[in-house]
Structures are given as C-alpha cells and as structure tokens.
Structure 1
C-alpha cells in the first residue's frame, strides 16, 4: 500500500511538472504569456479537468511560497534609501488607489443588490491586485526596475499591508463584535511587535550569521540559510497575523545592502521560479467549473464590471498623480484583476457570517477568471491607439537647409554631433521623440521635431541640399526604413549610418550606405586594448593585436558579403566555422590569411 501511495504521489508530481512544461512554451509562443499557460495547465489536470488532483488547496498553500520568494528577491533590489524615496508612491498613490477603487466597487455591489457589508467585502477583496500575476508579467517584460514598474511595486506593497486592516474590519462586523474587539487590539499589538522584531533581526543578526556561514565554505549551507531567512520571515509574519509575502519583502530589504545579496538572489531564484509556477497551476485547479456553469451570468457580469470599474479607477488615480496616458493605461490593464489575498478575505468573511458559501464561490471564481484574463487584457492594451504627442513649444522641421542632416538625436547622435558642432559645421538634427527634443533644448542643442521615416519630413528638413546625411536613430527598424527611403529617393546622397550588430552591418552594406559603424564595436575595441594595458602589455604589441583583429574582422565581413564561410578564433584559441557557404577559392584564400594572422598573434 505504501508503495502504491508513493507511486500515486510521484505520478501526480510528474503530471504537475509536465503540465507546466508543455503549456507554458505553447502559450508564450502564442504571445499569451507564462501566467495564462500555468493557469490553463492547472485547469486541465485539476479536479474539474482530468481529475489528477482532488485537493488543489493543499498545493496552493505550498505554492504560495513562490509569491513569498518573489517578494524576497524584489526586496533585495530595494535598498532602504530607495524604499524611502518611494514613500509618496506607497502611502500616497497606493493608498489613494485602494480607497478610490474600493468605494467604486462597493457602490457597484450595492447597486447589484448586495448588503453594504457584503458589497464592501466583495469590492475590497477585488481591489487587492494579484502580486504574483503582475510581478510575473513585469518580470517577463524586464520592467520591474523601470520607474513605472517601481510605482506598480509600491502600490502592490500597500495592498499587501491593506489585508491586515481589512481582516480587522471583517472581525469587527462578524458575530459577537464585543468579543472580537479585545482580540483585535491584541492582534494589532502582535503584528506591530512582529514587525519590530523582524526589522531588528535583519538589522543586527542576518549579516553576522551569513559571515559565519560563508567561512564554512559550504555552498549547500548558504542555500539552506537563504531558504531559512525567507521561510522564517514568512512564518514569523504569519504568526503575527500579517502577510507572509510582506515578511519576506522586509527580510530582503534588510539584506539589500549586504555583501551577500547577489549570492542570496542566486540561491533563491530556482525555488522562486518553480514555486511561482506551481502557484498559478494551483489557482487554475481551484476554478470550480460547476459554479461557473450554474452562476455564469453573475460571474460574467462580475468579472467584466469589476475589471472595467477597477481599471477606470486606476487610470483616474494614475492621471491625478501625473502619470502619462500610456503609463496610466498600462497600469490599468496590468492591475485590473483581483488577487490571491481576496481568497483570504472571502474565506474570513464567510467564517464570520458576512457572506454565504455560494457568494464566496462566485467571488472566488470571479477573481480567478480575472487573473486568467489579465495577460489577454495587457496584450490587447498594446493595440489601443496611442495619443499624438504634444508638440507645444517644439519647432517643426520645415524649410531647413544645412551641410549635415542628422536623423535621431539619442545617446549615439548626441556624441557624434559634438564633433561637427565644435567645428562650426551647420547641422540640422531631427528626432521623432518630443521628450528628447525638449531635453536637448535644456542642454543647449537645437533639435527639430520630425519623423525621419517620412519623405515629406526629409524634404522639409533639407535633405536635397545636405552634403551628408547621418542616421543615428535608436531603433533598428526605423533605421532600416530611413535607409531604404533615402536610397530609393536620393541614391546619390552620402549616407552614414549607425549599425546595431554584424547582421545589420551586412544589410546596410548591401543597401550601399557610404559608411556604417556598429554602436558597440569601437567602444569594445578600446575596452579590449585597455585590458591588455592593465595586464602589462606594451603599446607596440597592443597596436599589432588591434591591427590584426581589425584585418580579420574586415575579412570576415567581406566573406559574409560574398555569401561565404569564414573561420574565427574562440576564447580557447580553437578555429570554428560560421554557418555560411562561399566560393571555395575565395574562402580558402581568406581563411588562410585569418589562420596565419591568428598563429602570428599567438606567437
């Protein structure tokens, strides 16, 4: 029997991992993201799918540690000074969004026919955004550390804190409020004490502990210690009646200035990723299809109504706090869903008699469906028409003449322009980013607003009289459009272009540009020379190596332009072929030159 039970457990584990491994790549290939893949996988293998799991809640309790570890990693990136700098976003924007959206959703519940307290519970539960869903989507897009991402993180932190007073309200309005009053104050005192104890431990105990463990030179002990810190902080916060994720976040913040920060992040990352995936799978399992079938009109109205009202409230608050319209729309799309803390609030309200079991099931299904719809909403938001940028105070490129026409005035173009301007050369610079134009004006550069991919703008900017056109745009696709347009309409114009990589260089040369340079090539070349200088090589030898490398790079490009194959030297000094074909005579001659140069450099 024991062997049979172990076999069943192993089969479930294989099914759990297999469902995620299969579903996530498919959904990411479809552009729907990992979150929806995990949720769908959970629905398929859960009790309302193939029935491989009958108790998704048991998995959910374990998988919630994925959210805990995610918040710990975020905390490692948040130094206390940086967190203090976000206080306005946390307690201003975050609190304002929670209260404003809560009032809107509560009002909608009352209008739908719920009692005021039930409407309060339903609305405030949905206000608590899914930290796991939003952070996963931000992480996939690499926007967690961006200013807009940090504002979203700040709001999520405030929402994590909000679960505590919300649970207190549920306790007060539940049965026997007089008996609950004393315990509520005890809970508040316990929560405050736990917070103080956790901050003190992080301030005075964690760093000495990791220094002692690092001296043992045992990698597995450091990994175990990292897990101990995360899970211990979560456990202590749970005892105090607070959010486990909040405890892990505080522990991460306390260690953010530690010399062990990067080691801790590397140790936690594998566990965080797997457990977070299991969290979404278990949420997918929890979707009760029988409730969906029986209550589908109510659930559809609740999902669409709550998501629309919450998104509207988020957009309004974002604009009141001076976010740009695109950022406000993006935030509204990301945070329009309910979250995992709603399950906690709804369960507590059911136990307190504020809502019945059927309403709890409907509200839980509403939250799960909203989480599943979030990746689709975010994807759809990208196709909304973007507002035209404000051109107030900008000079439009029109009727201009100059010796040099520069298209694009980003970080690359700004440096290149200084050589020309230092010699008094007449330069007309245009850029399609109004913020860039305004920023350049503050630093004394005269830049005109204009889209270089349009022929009428190029003519207005004076391309017909320019001796040289310099393309320095920050996006490869824009560069390609501009080069194609100029070579088609002005084939005799001298054209210098910023290239983004080797393949782009080959394409530009095939289009007949007069000069191109990869944006990182010369800086990397100089960097390599400096490393040899630091290692004690003399200037003559470094010059020889640089000349040899330039020659071999020119050979490679020449062969690739001819559609050929070339050997190059990797970091171990071994010759490896690039996957191209070439006329044999030309390839043999050029390969012999490259190999000879490599051998001479090695001597």
Structure 2
C-alpha cells in the first residue's frame, strides 16, 4: 500500500513537471509568455480539467515558497541605502494607489449589488496586485532596475505590508467580535513588530558570522542548506508574527545584500526559486473552479472586466497625478490591473470569520484568478496598440547634404576606433547613426554624429555617399551590413566600400556583395591576443611572429577556398561537396604531440 501511495505521488510529480515542460515552450514560442503557459497547464491537469489533481490548495501552499524565494532574491539586489531611497515611492506612491483603488473597487462592488462590507472585502483583495506575476514579467524583460520597474516594486512592497492591517480590519469587522478582536489585534501588532525587530537583529549580527563559519568548512551542500534555512526561517518568523512570508524573505535578502556571500546565496537559491515559482502558477491554474464560473458566469465575467478597468484607471490616475509619463502610467496600469495571491489569504480570512460565505469566496477567488490569466494577454494587446516610442530628437541633426571625404555608417565601439586615425590625419569625416542616445553621448565628447539609417538608399544619397572617397560600414548587425554594402555597390559602384564583418559567414556574404575590404571584427584582436599568449609561454618574438604569420596564411587560404568551393554561404553551415580548406591548428589530446603543419581541419563559423 505504501508503495502504491508513493507511486501515485511520483506520478503526480512527473505530471507537474511534464505540464510545465510542454506548455511553457509552446506559449513562449507563441509570444504569450511563461506565466500564461503555467496557468493554462495547471487548468488542464487540475480538478476542472483532466482531474489529475484534486487538491490544488495543498500544492498552492507549497508553491507559495516560490514567491518567497523570489522576494529573497529581489531583496539581495536591494541594498538598505537603495531601499531607503525608495521610501517616498513605497509610502507615497504605494499608499496613494492602494487607497484610491480600494475606494474605487469598493464602489464597484456596491454598484454590482454587494453589501458594503462584502464590497470592501472584494475590493481590498483585488487591490493587492500579484507580486509573482509582476516581478516575473519585470525580470523577463530586465526592467527591475529601471525607474518604472523600481516604482512597481515599491508599490508591491507597500501592498505586501498592507496585508497585515487588512487582516486586522477583517477580524475587527467580524460579526459580534469587535471588542475582543480589537484587543487581540493590538497584541498581534506588537508580535508583528517584535518579529521584524528580531529578524533585523539576527540579520545584522548573526547571519554573516554564521556564513563565515560554514564557508570555512568548505561544504557546498551545507551552504545551500543554510541559504534555504535563512529564506524559510525568515519567512516562518514573519508568518508566526502575523506578517507576510514574502516580506520576511525580502527583509532577509535586504539584510544580506551587502554581505560578501550575496552571490553565493543567490546561486544556491535560484534553482529552487525557479521550480517553485512555476509550481505556484500551475497551482493557481488548478484552483480555478470552472463549475463556479459556469454557475455565475455573468457576474464573474462582468466583475473581471469592470474590476480590471477600474483598477487600471485608478493606477493611471495616480501615475499622472504624480507627473509620470503617459506611456509609463499606461504600462503600469495594464501590468498591475490584476488581483494577486494575497487576495486568496484575505478572502479565506473573511470567510473564516463569517464576513462572506463559501460561494462568495469561490466567486471572488475565480475573479482574481481569471484576472491573473488575462494579464499576459492584456500586456500583448498593449504592445500592439501602443505606438513605438519615438526617440527624443532634441539636439540631434538629421542627414542633409553631407560632403565629407569619408562617410562612416555606425558609430559604436568599432566605428569610434576606426575613425580615430582619419580624424588625427585631419581627413573630413561624416558620421551617421540611428541610435539617438549614442549620438547625444558622442556629442558630449565633441563628436558630430548625424541621425540617419544607412540601410536606406535615400539616406545614403543625402549623406553624400556618391561623393565620398570611401565609405566605412561599421554597424553591429551582419544582415544590415550586407544590405548597406549591396545598396552602395549597386548605386555607387566606383566608391570604395570597407565593412566590418560579424564572422566568417558574414565576411563571405560581404565579398559576394562586392565589398572592397572586409575584416572580421575580432580577428586582429584575437591574433594579437594569441601572439601575446605565445610570448607569455616563453617563445621569443621571432618564433611567435612566424607562428602567427602561419596562422594568418592558413586563415586566408581557408577563406579563399571557401569562396571558390562554396563551403560556406554566409550561414555558417557546410554546403555541397566542397574541397577541404586549409587546416586550422587544433588542441592536442593529452599525450599527443602535434605538428601545426599537420593539424586536422575544422570549419570555423565565427571569428
């Protein structure tokens, strides 16, 4: 029997892993994001899909640890000084948004026919945005460290703090228990404050010495166990104090953010965080009660739409009131328009004290879950509707009738270095680029760079390509470089064109396009690097020089043979029955003495 029970649990584990492994790549390929993939997978395998799981609540309780670990890692990035710098955003922006949205959503609930107390509970729960969804979206886009991202993080932190007074208020509003509950809640507040103080003391004087002792033991598994102990222990301390587990983990991360063990802790926790956070979204998908949705589909659908629109409107209004840009305000409104995981806690507490009944709890929970499911779709819709941001052209001159002796297209790292000898010689150089920010930065160093897309033929005419003594194509993207060279050689065949190649395949494409000179961007630096290595190993300069000349010869022979034999066609893949190119020197195996002249051949795609 024990074996059967264990086998059944193993089947469930395999199903959970398989659901995520199958669904997430499909949804990411469709551009819908990993979160929606997890939610859909959870719905399919849950009690209201194929019925492979009948207790999503149990999984959800375990999976919440993913959110806890996520907040710990975010805390590691938030040094106390940085967090102190966000205090106005947390207690100013956060308070204003929560207060306004709570008032608006309570009014919506009353308009939908709910009693005032139930309307307040429903609205207060929906105000608490999903920390897991928003933080995951910000992380995937790399926006956590940006100013808009920091503002969202600040609001989420304030909302996490708000779960404590909201739970106290729910207990205070419980029928027939005001006086007793008020006194008990005052005690609970004291316990919560004590838990925070205790965690701060432990983080300040105990954690770093503990990790130093463990590091001296040189036991990697013990360090991993200690990292998990810190995360889960701080979460448990906050939970016992009546606070949010996620808030406890976040504070622990902040306290360790300046520790010399910060990177080790992040590496130890990261694998558990990723798996458990995915499990959390799977469990949320399983928790969607389709029978409740079917029985109350009108009120559920109406509530989801109205709650999300009204909350988004409140968020947008607060952002604009505080003079944040339209685009930033609109994006925040869409990203944070959903309810969150703390709503489940609030609704369960309200049901436990008799403020709402079981069916209302299920309906409100379904509304929150559906809003979470709709968030990735709403973000996709926003990206489709919003116009692409136009760069600020203030102080940037457009290309118009340039007449430099040399035209440089692209002024990144490569273009900057390539233009230096020309400028030192006093040659008249015209430079164009389509990166506005780079143009402004270059201006601060005294460079005059004009705005223009070198891949457009009209821009090449306006930039004076037909009158130039030479054109240097120094852009980053290989396909763009080839397109520019093709335009130049077709329209201005007598003008010499020199181009930067990304790799060997791009170099072959440029040669076929008729470029007069091309060089792989890292070729010469790699040659110099290799020669310096030979000298470091004890070879004299003459011998090192001879070996490098041999390497250069072999590289040139390979390139020529690839051109004539069709070994490469700009894709880095072998094609046809091409002759064997000149061999490259290969790493020798242990115990093998290799003559560079007899080195085996190998196709080279890069460099």
Write out aligned runs for 1:316-395 (5 A): 316-319=317-320, 325-384=326-385, 385-395=387-397
Greater displacement, 557-566 / 426-435: 557-566
Residues 88 and 445 (structure 1), Cα distance of their counterparts in 2 relative to 1, 3 Å cut: farther
Report what 1:591 is aligned to.
583
The 10-residue stretch of structure 1 (26-35 or 515-524) with the greater mean CA deviation from structure 2: 515-524
Find the aligned partners of 2:553 and 2:508 in 1 and give their Cα distance. Answer: 17
Partner of 1:243: 244
Q: Structure 2 CA distance, aligned partners of 1:249 and 1:602?
A: 59
Matched position secondary structure for 2:14:
helix
Per-residue displacement from partner, 1:299-338 (whole Å, max 9, x unpaired)? 2222222323333444444455565555444434432322
* SS in structure 2 at match of 1:338: coil
Matched, 1:160 2:156: no
Residue 198 of structure 1 deviates from its aligned partner by 1.0
Say whether the 8 Å CA contact 1:552–1:594 is kept in structure 2. no
Aligned partner of residue 587 in structure 1, secondary structure: coil
Cα separation, 2, equivalents of 1:195 and 1:564: 69
Q: Does residue 1:397 correspond to 2:376, yes or no?
A: no
1:255-294 CA deviation, whole Å, 9 max, x = no partner? 2222322222222222112111111111111000011112
Question: Is 128-137 or 352-361 further displaced after alignment?
Answer: 352-361
CA contact (8 A) 1:563 1:580 kept: no
Residue range with higher mean Cα deviation, 313-322 or 37-46: 313-322
Structure 2 match to 1:457:
459
Return 206-215 or 170-179, whichever deviates more: 170-179
Question: Which residue of structure 2 lines up, in the alignment, with residue 46 of structure 1?
Answer: 46
Using the TM superposition, give the Cα deviation of residue 404 of structure 1 relative to its aligned residue in structure 2, in angstroms.
2.4
What residue in structure 1 maps to residue 605 of structure 2?
A: none
CA distance in 2, matches of 1:266, 1:95: 34
Render the CA deviation track for 1:408-457: whole Å, top value 9, x for unaligned.
Answer: 33444344444433333323223334333333333333222333333333
Matched, 1:495 2:497: yes
**Match for residue 469 of structure 1 among 462, 468, 471:** 471
1:580 is matched with which residue? 574
Quick check: 1:71–1:248 contact (8 Å CA) kept in 2? Answer: yes
Q: Give secondary structure in 1 for the equivalent of 2:49.
A: coil
Q: Distance in 1 between matches of 2:328 and 2:527?
A: 38
SS at match of 1:469: strand
Q: Is the 8 A contact 1:400 1:461 kept in 2?
A: yes
Structure 1 stretch displaced more, 171-180 or 275-284: 171-180
Using the TM superposition, name which of 9-18 and 493-502 deviates more: 493-502
Q: How does 1:69-148 map to 2 (within 5 A)?
A: 69-148=69-148
For residues 465-509 of structure 1, the C-alpha deviation after alignment (integer angstroms, 9 at most, x for no partner) is 222223334555554543443344334333333444444333333
d(CA) in 1 for partners of 2:584, 2:349: 77
Instruction: Give me the whole-angstrom Cα distance separating, in 2, the residues matched to 1:421 and 1:592.
Output: 37
| Distance verdict in 2 for CA 1:593–1:195, change over 3 Å | closer
Shift of the alpha carbon at 1:151? 3.8
CA distance in 2, matches of 1:83, 1:440: 33
CA deviation after TM superposition for structure 1 residue 205, in Å: 1.0
Could you tell me whether the CA contact under 8 Å between 2:405 and 2:429 is conserved in 1? Answer: yes
2:604 match? none
* Conserved? CA contact 1:564–1:587, under 8 Å: no
> Which residue number in structure 1 is paired with residue 267 of structure 2?
266
Equivalent-residue separation in structure 2 for 1:181 and 1:389 (angstroms): 56
Task: Tell me the secondary structure at the aligned position of residue 382 of structure 1.
Answer: helix
The CA distance in 2 between the partners of 1:531 and 1:162, in whole Å, is 60
> 2:420 & 2:37 partners in 1: Cα distance?
50
Q: Which runs of 5+ in 2 are unaligned?
A: 600-607
Q: Which moves more between the two structures, 527-536 or 377-386? A: 527-536
CA distance in 1 between partners of 2:535 and 2:84 (Å): 43
2:209 equivalent in structure 1: 208
Partner Cα separation in structure 2 for residue 593 and residue 393 of structure 1: 51
Q: Give the structure 2 partner of residue 218 of structure 1.
A: 219
Mark the CA change 1:563 to 1:263 in structure 2 (over 3 Å): closer, same or farther. farther
User: Counterpart of 2:602?
Assistant: none
Distance 1:380 1:498, change over 3 A: farther
Per the alignment, do residues 50 and 443 of structure 1 end up closer, same or farther by CA in structure 2, a change over 3 Å counting?
same
- The answer to whether the 8 A contact 1:562-1:582 is kept is no
**Residue of structure 1 in register with 2:447 after alignment:** 445
The alignment partner of 1:246 has SS state of helix
Equivalent positions of 1:228-307 (< 5 A) are 228-307=229-308
Q: CA deviation at 1:130?
A: 1.5
Q: Answer with 519-528 or 185-194: which moved more.
A: 519-528
TM-score (norm 1): 0.87
8 Å contact kept, 1:502–1:518: yes
TM-superposed deviation, 1:517:
4.0
In 2, Cα distance between the equivalents of 1:205 and 1:595? 49
CA contact (8 A) 2:473 2:499 kept: yes
Is the Cα contact below 8 Å between 1:559 and 1:582 reproduced in 2? Answer: no
Of residues 195-204 and 445-454 in structure 1, the stretch that sits farther from structure 2 once superposed is 445-454
Change (3 A) 1:592 1:92: closer
> What is the rounded CA distance, in whole Å, between the counterparts of 1:250 and 1:602 in structure 2?
62
Which deviates more from structure 2 when the two are superposed, residues 249-258 or residues 510-519?
510-519
Say whether the 8 Å CA contact 1:77–1:253 is kept in structure 2. yes
Instruction: In structure 1, list runs of 5 or more residues that go unmatched.
Output: 567-577
Distance 1:50 1:366 in 2: 22
Provide the aligned C-alpha RMSD in A. 3.2
Structure 1 residues 324 and 11, CA gap change in structure 2 (3 angstroms): same
Q: What's the CA shift string for 1:567-596, capped at 9, x where partnerless?
A: xxxxxxxxxxx8624655x416x1388899
**Contact 2:554 2:584 (8 Å CA) reproduced:** no
Match of residue 575 from structure 1: none
8 A Cα contact 1:560 1:580, kept in partner: no
8 Å CA contact 1:46, 1:285 repeated in 2: yes
Matched residues in 1 for 2:86 and 2:517: separation?
46
Taking the aligned partners of 2:573 and 2:403, their CA distance within structure 1 comes to 46
Aligned residues: 590
